[in-house]
Amino acid sequence: MYSDDPFIDDRPLGRAMLRGLACRCPACGKGRVLQGYLKVRDTCPNCHEDLSHQRADDGPAYLTILIVGHLMLPLMAAAFIAYRPEPWQMIALFGSATVVLSLLMLPRMKGLMVAIQWSRRMHGFGDSEIAHD
């Protein structure tokens, strides 16, 4: 239900973000947002919320790179200082850890971006509710 009162948040950002990180529908929290690895469904299979308005574009990739980079760099420095591993060991360990962490985080960042857009009524999310009131 859309409200004209600017102090009433009928789409709380925090709840939507948590649902997005879980790759769930930001509206109901039950339906899966993604169809496959990164393709966003047109509608939620549970509540039929229209998700086709999303424009995540490169945002999830940038967020993933930012977070993985900030996590891996201190770990690499600490491992190098503490153990002085061979270069091939550093590449094998941290290269594979970076790839695995990136692959795990990318769909969650996509769900997060869709949830933020839905919560803030960006790119057409919520237009139909406003027109009906």
Residues 32-63 have pLDDT tens digits of 999 999 999 999 999 999 999 899 999 999 99
pTM: 0.85
Is the CB of residue 16 less than 8 Å from the CB of residue 33?
no
With a cut of 60, say whether residue 130 has pLDDT above it.
no
With a cut of 90, say whether residue 2 has pLDDT above it.
no
90-124 pLDDT per residue, tens: 999 999 999 999 999 999 999 999 999 999 999 88
Say what the pLDDT of residue 70 is.
98
DSSP 63-104: HHHHHHHHHHHHHHHHHHHHH---HHHHHHHHHHHHHHHHHH
The strand pairing partners of 40, in sequence order, are 34
Dist. CA 30–CA 107, nearest whole Å? 16
Say what the pLDDT of residue 132 is.
35
Q: Which whole number is the average pLDDT over 17-26?
A: 97
With a cut of 80, say whether residue 126 has pLDDT above it.
no
